[in-house]
Structure 1
Amino acid sequence: MTVTSPAESAPPGGPGGELAELQPPRLMLDAPVLRACGLSRRYGRVTALQDVDVTLYPREVLGIVGESGSGKSSLLRLLNLEETPQGGSYHLNVPGAQGRDLLTLTRFERRELRVRHIGIVYQNPHLGLRMEHSSSGNVAERLVLAGERSFAALRQAGRVSLAASEFPLERLDDPPRELSGGMQQRVQLAKAIALKPALLLLDEPTTGLDVSVQALVLDTLRRVRRELGVAMVIVSHDLGVIRTLADRVMVMRGGQVVEVGLVDQVLDDPLHPYTQQLVHAKL
């Protein structure tokens, strides 16, 4: 029996060539790049997450949907090691972390792991960028945190990452505050992929963008996924974005996962009443 990865199952040719739609994985035999079990998070008396499990394979894109307050953003913060849950475990299959529960690492160890192996694009660019610094300087900041000190190397790496995110290089010295929302997201993406992370987290990356700009951002993400082999978790309220980009989708409500499966199966034939309500509300 022949088993294909998500990238290998992509159809050749067609409009956009290499940006052609990737087919969802039908069978995964590789070791997961991410495995989180029983994640629980409370803020005072409010339960944000309750016994949430997440598994993600190399090159796979997992979409997370749900209404406001369902726990999507809390989960993303935990996966980015920004917060610590009250329960659960979290493993990444990356150098230096195999077999280790990341929740037991020191703050310094988490920071090092996050810088080298996890990238994130926030819904609000102000959370991920220094708006007064140059765009190339924002990308270089991540490389400096990883230990790079050569100005020439930082400059070149910044150009490469910005080009990979399809950012116009004639504006690499412009600060994000002077850029459109779509270009700010491209700077965030360039910063996130500068060190070729194993995991890319995306929090509503197309919210507030024009439809044409959304399409360009999604095309860029698909190309980055294929060329870097990065696995992604994308949170979005837009089911069209999830259908376009994700292989699997996880539906959350009240801090719990109510349904998970292949995108077409869940969105075309939802089983849980809440998922049915969510899908029909978006039609």
Structure 2
Amino acid sequence: MTATSNSSSASPLALRRPQLMLQRPVLKATNLNRFYGPVTALDDVQVEVYPGEVVGIVGESGSGKSTLLRVLNLEENPDGGHYELTLPEYAGQNLFDLSRFEQRRLRVRHIGIVYQNPYLGLRMNNSSSGNVAERLVLAGERSFRALREAGRTSLAASEFPLSRMDDPPLQLSGGMQQRVQLAKAIALRPALLLLDEPTTGLDVSVQALVLDTLRRLRRELGMAMVVVSHDLGVIRTLADRVMVMRHGRVVESGLVDQVLEDPQHPYTQQLVHAKL
């Protein structure tokens, strides 16, 4: 994907997504291993996500969920494994073999992420529209008019009130901060959207609004998503398939209804019954 034009007519959401080969998964990661000293965070984990699909990841704290998301976001390399995204310019390449510079470039252009903690994803003292525009600046856009329109268009898509687009996230509620993160994440129409506990800490009514927005964006943009959550209700609402992790391993996976209604692994049974 080439850098955006400097033309003032450039439209941020008109930036085309990469042409995905729909017969193949958008994301394919195999044999992922990650160790922190004696602690095994990922143990031979396999992940596939297809175009337009949402895969949920559940498990208790320390199960490896967040480590897996950081690895998929190329924030850190594992101790072993292979990772591909179905993007023409990276066809067949193990993304872990790229330089850190090239990984950052790929992440900016093709992977969006919404963190549980907005402070990790936003510059809290910059304007909300400026936070969104920052992603396009990193991708090469320089036209102020195009950047301004980028902020407006993406914030509107995430159902953020445009009357507050010049307010910094520091002055916003938790739900509105998550919407700014989401707007920033989708600004370049990424091939993959990663969501780390996107509704944690939000009031029930605000959670429902955020989930409705995510479902609508999935329909409209058709991007693949991976969502990490301890809340099985969120997984039921968003995901098609679910992976259950424990001690760095995937102990059970399958269709959401199948796994959550008829869990086979004792740990999954314990997890589901604990949430009833």
1:217 aligned onto 2:210: yes
Paired with 1:176 and 1:65, the residues of 2 have a C-alpha distance of 28
1:276 aligned onto 2:269: yes
For 2:202, the aligned partner's letter is L
Deviation at 1:30, TM superposition (A): 2.4
Deviation at 1:55, TM superposition (A): 0.4
For 1:89, the aligned partner's letter is H
Match in the other structure for 2:18: none
1:132 aligned onto 2:125: yes
Deviation at 1:95, TM superposition (A): 3.2
1:229 aligned onto 2:222: yes
| Residues 202-213 of structure 1 aligned to structure 2 (within 5 Å) | 202-213=195-206
Match in the other structure for 1:247: 240
Paired with 1:220 and 1:117, the residues of 2 have a C-alpha distance of 20
1:110 aligned onto 2:103: yes
Moved >2 Å (runs of 4+) = none
Deviation at 1:91, TM superposition (A): 0.3
Give per-residue Cα distances to partners, 1:26-72, cap 9 Å, x unaligned.
xxx82100000000001112110010000000000000000000000
For 1:249, the aligned partner's letter is V
Give per-residue Cα distances to partners, 1:66-91, cap 9 Å, x unaligned.
00000000000000000000111000
SS in 2 for 1:277: helix
Paired with 1:94 and 1:171, the residues of 2 have a C-alpha distance of 35
Paired with 1:126 and 1:30, the residues of 2 have a C-alpha distance of 37
Paired with 1:246 and 1:185, the residues of 2 have a C-alpha distance of 19
Note the residue ranges of structure 1 that are not aligned, 5 or more in a row: 1-28
Paired with 2:158 and 2:26, the residues of 1 have a C-alpha distance of 23
Match in the other structure for 2:69: 76
Note the residue ranges of structure 2 that are not aligned, 5 or more in a row: 1-21
SS in 2 for 1:96: helix
The number of equivalent residue pairs is 255
SS in 2 for 1:81: coil
Deviation at 1:228, TM superposition (A): 1.0
Q: With structure 1 as the length reference, what TM-score do the two structures score?
A: 0.89
Give per-residue Cα distances to partners, 1:200-253, cap 9 Å, x unaligned.
000000001011110110010011111111100000000000000000000000
Paired with 1:32 and 1:102, the residues of 2 have a C-alpha distance of 15
For 2:104, the aligned partner's letter is R
Higher relative contact order (CA 8 A, sep 6+): 2
For 2:192, the aligned partner's letter is L
Match in the other structure for 2:27: 34
Match in the other structure for 1:10: none
Match in the other structure for 1:119: 112
1:144 aligned onto 2:140: no
Paired with 1:270 and 1:45, the residues of 2 have a C-alpha distance of 30
Paired with 2:70 and 2:88, the residues of 1 have a C-alpha distance of 22
Paired with 1:124 and 1:268, the residues of 2 have a C-alpha distance of 31
Equivalent of residue 185 in structure 1, options 157, 175, 178: 178
Give per-residue Cα distances to partners, 1:116-161, cap 9 Å, x unaligned.
0000000000000000000000001100000000000000011000
**Aligned alpha-carbon RMSD (Å):** 0.7
Match in the other structure for 1:54: 47
Paired with 1:194 and 1:96, the residues of 2 have a C-alpha distance of 20
For 2:243, the aligned partner's letter is M
1:168 aligned onto 2:161: yes
Identity %: 80
Equivalent of residue 93 in structure 1, options 81, 86, 93: 86
Paired with 2:221 and 2:95, the residues of 1 have a C-alpha distance of 23
Paired with 2:104 and 2:219, the residues of 1 have a C-alpha distance of 26
